Structure 1
Amino acid sequence: MTDRPKTLLLIGATSDIGRATALAYAQAGWNIILAARNETTACRNRDDIATRSTNAVSIQALDILDTERLKSFVDDLPVLPDTVVCVVGELGNQERAQWDLKHASMVMRTNFEGPSLLLGLLAERFLARGSGAIVGVSSVAGDRGRGSNYVYGASKAGFSAFLSGLRNRLSSTRLRVVTVKPGFVRTRMTAGMKLPPFLTAEPEEVGSAIFAAAEGSRGRDIIYVRSIWRPVMFAISSIPEPLFKRLGL
């Protein structure tokens, strides 16, 4: 009798990072549940991953902003996953968010409210079972507010704080909570932006880092992708506020 394959629930399955993460798990022998609002794109990713692995890949419809249906989403899962990875992200437009409250709300709710509520629900199910790993993809943008993207940064800061609190609460259990903070990543969301090569990761790099952190025996609680972002953000966070305001970041 062989052990059953483990199952990954990937929240945000239509993103480039989501696809790369799901593929990393699938190639390690995991079954994959892809959760996404756009089922057409999710189907393409499902088919691509299925051709590169031998394990099951399925799709569950999910609108992260429809918070009233998050509980039924968890209830309807075909199996309680061993690990959940949330890569949901919405960069939005800072200038628009300054006057369009619906746009600002959408960015904040997509990056913070929806993911936090869903991962909180899954944490309770994992706690009742006695095992599980939770991975939330936040951002270095949440380490310090910048004038150029503070709506996005604030939402990611909130998500990082939620994950930190959840990790603290569950520290005496067998559950793991990992925060992933990518810097620049070459994806469709950053298309057209000038990205510094030595600070810019590929989606596959992020996916591999997530798998290593969540499933490795010595994984960190908080990982930066790429690792150079850790000292960079420490330095940025240490700049006194009067000087930071003059930098115009």
Structure 2
Amino acid sequence: MQKILIIGATSAIAQATARRFARRGDRLYLLGRDPDRLDGMAQDLRIRGAESVSYASFEAEDFARHPALLDQAYEALGGLDVALIAHGTLPDQRACEASFDTARRELNVNALGTLSLLTHLANRLESQGSGTLAVISSPAGDRGRQSNYVYGAAKAMVTVFCQGLRNRLFGSGVHVLTIKPGFVDTPMTAAFDKGMLWAQPEQIAAGIEKAIGKGKDSVYLPGFWAFIMLAIKHIPEGIFKRLKL
């Protein structure tokens, strides 16, 4: 049995992952924006086999409240083995281009909120000498594209922060996992046309559970995204800037 904190718990990927943890009999603590959805999710996870499920409402932009929320989760769980950070939004790129205030709000949610949580969690796990920080980033952070560069910039910040944190915590007993899902069929992507590159949340959840168990540093999900992004990252800038991506 593991003691697991899930942040952004009502996202489709987080819900699918939580169901896998519940079937193992893990002890869970959920943080999310909607108390009603959290309550329904908690009831479902208890039925599925979780040893216990507690929850609290959470706003990624409320940085000042993060320490108290994490203390509350730690006390409810009786410790912490794994923290999965899965909150986020998919910004309207055009709206972000038109207004920096809009872009800043998206960066607060998708980047700075994650960095705030990671800072507090890393210090706690380092002091106890064990634990896993699993963070959902994105292939969008691997290279800036005109269609989503505000989102990509946020995820690039998360990815690089995790790289530095992994370097800092090496040898401390704390494992840092960066998770980069490709296209996933979720409510957040409901407006997109779906094709063969799209995955279901359950596929991503299985990959997350496996990567945590194997102590991976970074993982693309599904795995073929590693090859796609390798190709994209190696396109010369003189060519890349002309592409409509």
Q: By the TM > 0.5 criterion, same fold?
A: yes
Instruction: Choose the corresponding residue for 1:37, options 21, 33, 39.
Output: 33
Mapped to 2, the partners of 1:73 and 1:37 lie a distance apart of 13
Mapped to 2, the partners of 1:101 and 1:14 lie a distance apart of 28
| Aligned residue number for residue 98 of structure 1 | 97
| Aligned residue number for residue 22 of structure 2 | 26
Please give the per-residue CA displacement for 1:51-89, whole angstroms capped at 9, x wherever unaligned: 211421111222111001111112222233210000111
Mapped to 2, the partners of 1:115 and 1:166 lie a distance apart of 13
| 2:204 maps to 1:233 | no
| Aligned residue number for residue 108 of structure 2 | 109
Shift of 1:196: 2.1
Matches within 5 A, 1:71-220: 71-77=67-73, 78=76, 79-197=78-196, 199-216=197-214, 219-220=215-216
Identity of aligned residues (%): 38
AA aligned to 2:63 is: T
Cα pair 1:200 1:226 within 8 Å, conserved: no
Mapped to 1, the partners of 2:50 and 2:89 lie a distance apart of 32
Mapped to 2, the partners of 1:231 and 1:200 lie a distance apart of 15
Q: Which ranges of structure 2 fall in alignment gaps of 5 or more residues?
A: none
AA aligned to 2:49 is: S
Mapped to 2, the partners of 1:176 and 1:54 lie a distance apart of 23
Cα pair 1:31 1:57 within 8 Å, conserved: yes
TM-score between the two structures when normalised by the length of structure 1: 0.94
Q: Which ranges of structure 1 fall in alignment gaps of 5 or more residues?
A: none
Please give the per-residue CA displacement for 1:1-27, whole angstroms capped at 9, x wherever unaligned: xxxx32110000111111011111111
Comparing 78-87 with 159-168, greater Cα deviation is found at: 78-87
TM-score between the two structures when normalised by the length of structure 2: 0.95
Aligned residues: 242
Mapped to 2, the partners of 1:54 and 1:156 lie a distance apart of 31
Cα pair 2:107 2:151 within 8 Å, conserved: yes
Mapped to 2, the partners of 1:114 and 1:54 lie a distance apart of 28
Give the aligned CA root-mean-square deviation in angstroms.
1.1
SS of the residue aligned with 2:164?
helix
SS of the residue aligned with 1:76?
helix
Mapped to 2, the partners of 1:120 and 1:65 lie a distance apart of 15
AA aligned to 2:201 is: P
Mapped to 2, the partners of 1:42 and 1:54 lie a distance apart of 15
AA aligned to 1:240 is: P
Instruction: Choose the corresponding residue for 2:11, options 9, 15, 19.
Output: 15
AA aligned to 2:211 is: A
